[in-house]
Amino acid sequence: MIKDALKYIVGLNEPKIIDYRGNKYSDKELEIIKEPLSEGLELNTLTGLVDYIKNDIDGFQNTDLIVHIKNYKTVEVISQLKENYDRHCFIRTTAQLPRIEFSRFLDTENFIIMMQSCFIDNEDKSKVLKVVGNIKEEVVKQVGDDGITQQVTAKSGVARIEEVELPNPVSLIPYRTFTEVGQPESKFVFRMKSGPSAALIEADGGAWKNQAVLNIKQYLENELKDIEYIQIIA
């Protein structure tokens, strides 16, 4: 009797499919029963991702895998599409990046600390640090400021003070992607105002992000060139 009752209940809940003007409709809302998906390991380096694949930790040697470079700071190892159009994500690595204050005026001490700790050395970094480190007066003069060039009062020698033109734009190399790859160099607008305080404003329209993705792709292609079952997309 219990089996008969269950069959009756199931029969009541079965959806009816209706054809109407070439389309199929159901009289009940249907939900797909999804297969469980892997959560994926969480890493912070490209080296860890490469080691995971080379050592075949989870036994994927005969499985086609995709290394998906989502953006300048995230890379995933995923499966091909399943029948229900889901994918497994086996590993995800996210770059740990320093906090860099762009488009915000900082006092000279914090600005210098940020430049020293978050930017790779190059010629323009030295120029910026030289100007900021020698600012003499609290009031930054705007003499000759046409929106591109700006002048400030700075020490020029042991006791000499003069108007110094700020370098603009400046090409700098901040840490903005995985440390295993080359950091993209891009242009910034360097500004100062009373306080004194200084700011860097990004001036490349975000093109550095595309370069970072290309750098990651080149690194992975070189490291995984002998792994045949891997496809790298960016």
Residue 51 predicted with pLDDT over 80: yes
Q: Which residues in 45-160 belong to E strands, given as ranges?
A: 65-71, 74-79, 89-94, 106-107, 119-120, 151-155
Nearest residue to 193 via CA among 135, 125, 120, 133: 135
**Residue ranges of domains in the chain:** 41-96+213-233, 106-203
Percent of the chain with pLDDT over 70: 81
CA separation for the pair 19, 197 (Å, rounded): 71
Degrees to nearest 5, angle at CA 60 with 56 and 62: 120
Burial profile 146-160: b = 16 or more Cβ within 10 angstroms, e = fewer = eeeebbbbbeeeeee
Q: Which residues in 64-223 belong to E strands, given as ranges?
A: 65-71, 74-79, 89-94, 106-107, 119-120, 151-155, 161-165, 170-174, 186-193, 197-202
- Amino acid code (one letter) for 184: P
CB count within 10 Å of CB 104 equals 12
Q: Which residues in 14-147 belong to E strands, given as ranges?
A: 17-20, 23-26, 41-43, 65-71, 74-79, 89-94, 106-107, 119-120
Residue 219 predicted with pLDDT over 90: yes
Query: Rg (Cα) of the chain, in Å, rounded?
Result: 29
Is this model's pTM higher than 0.75 or not? yes
Q: What pLDDT digit, counting tens, does each position of 155-198 carry?
A: 544 333 456 667 789 999 999 999 999 999 999 999 888 878 99
> What residues are paired with 150 via a beta bridge?
none
Percent of the chain with pLDDT over 90: 50
pLDDT band at 208 (very low <50, low <70, confident <90, very high): very high
Q: What pLDDT digit, counting tens, does each position of 180-191 carry?
A: 999 999 999 998
